[in-house]
Amino acid sequence: MPGQKAPEEQRREQILLAAYGVASREGIAGLTVRAVAAEAGLSHGLVLFHFKRKDQLVRALLDSVLAATLALHVPAEIAALPKALDRLRALLRREVDRLSHEPDRIRLLLECWAVGAREAEMRETVGRALARYRADFARIAEEVLASESSGFARVTPMGLAAVTVGLINECAIQGSVDPEHFLMDDYLSAVQGLVGGLAEPRA
């Protein structure tokens, strides 16, 4: 019945939220069906009803982490900026700020990459997520290259997108792991020459 689907979907989300809490504290290695059931306040059997095996639960959790982390959303105020380069700068800063304030999610993203190094299926999943993220930036990068007459010699949209995504991931990792000593403005200024002015120019 259609009315039965919503509660099941809500229960599945409840289980994934509990799995996120367990994995944030214990890592993927500490993620067990029993621990997730206790976190969610559900029975062991109910968790297994939705996720037949632990590896299914782990895969669903990692998929949700990738979907939440490597996804570009352009706020209206950034979309309204008239210059493409200003939009790219603003998006870079927004993404770095967003991810650096989600240290648990970044740690789980790193675990996704680690799992991907060992398992071909997860490697392909991470690769697809990164490709989508780069493609979102490539559209903006194409506008930047079309409107800027200098600073981007021999740069392609995909190349600029890849560098931007690399900067975001690197900044997010350093910002979440060592926030007291990582200065984003200094970092972006240091790479200004590499990315043709992505960093805000100093006054």
In a domain, 62, yes or no: no
Helix/strand/coil for 42: coil
Q: How many domains does the chain have?
A: 2
In a domain, 144, yes or no: yes
Both 7 and 103 in one domain: the answer is: no
**Per-residue confidence at 78, pLDDT binned at 50, 70, 90?**
very high
In a domain, 201, yes or no: no
Mean of pLDDT values over 145-154 = 79
Is pLDDT above 90 for 79?
Answer: yes
**Per-residue confidence at 195, pLDDT binned at 50, 70, 90?**
low
Domain of 185, in residue numbers? 70-190
Is pLDDT above 90 for 108?
Answer: no
Among 57, 85, 101, residue at a domain's last position: 57
Per-residue pLDDT of 118-139, as tens digits, reads 888 888 999 999 999 999 999 9
Please state, in angstroms and as integers, the Cα–Cα distance from residue 13 to each residue in 17, 38, 68, 112, 156, following that order. 6, 15, 14, 19, 40
Both 17 and 102 in one domain: the answer is: no
Is pLDDT above 60 for 1?
Answer: no
In a domain, 199, yes or no: no
Label residue 131 exposed, middle or buried (CB < 10 Å: 0-12, 13-18, 19+): middle
CATH of the domain at 14: 1.10.10.60
CB 146 within 8 A of CB 152: no
Q: Which two tokens stand for residue 194?
A: 């590499």
In a domain, 47, yes or no: yes
pTM of the model: 0.81
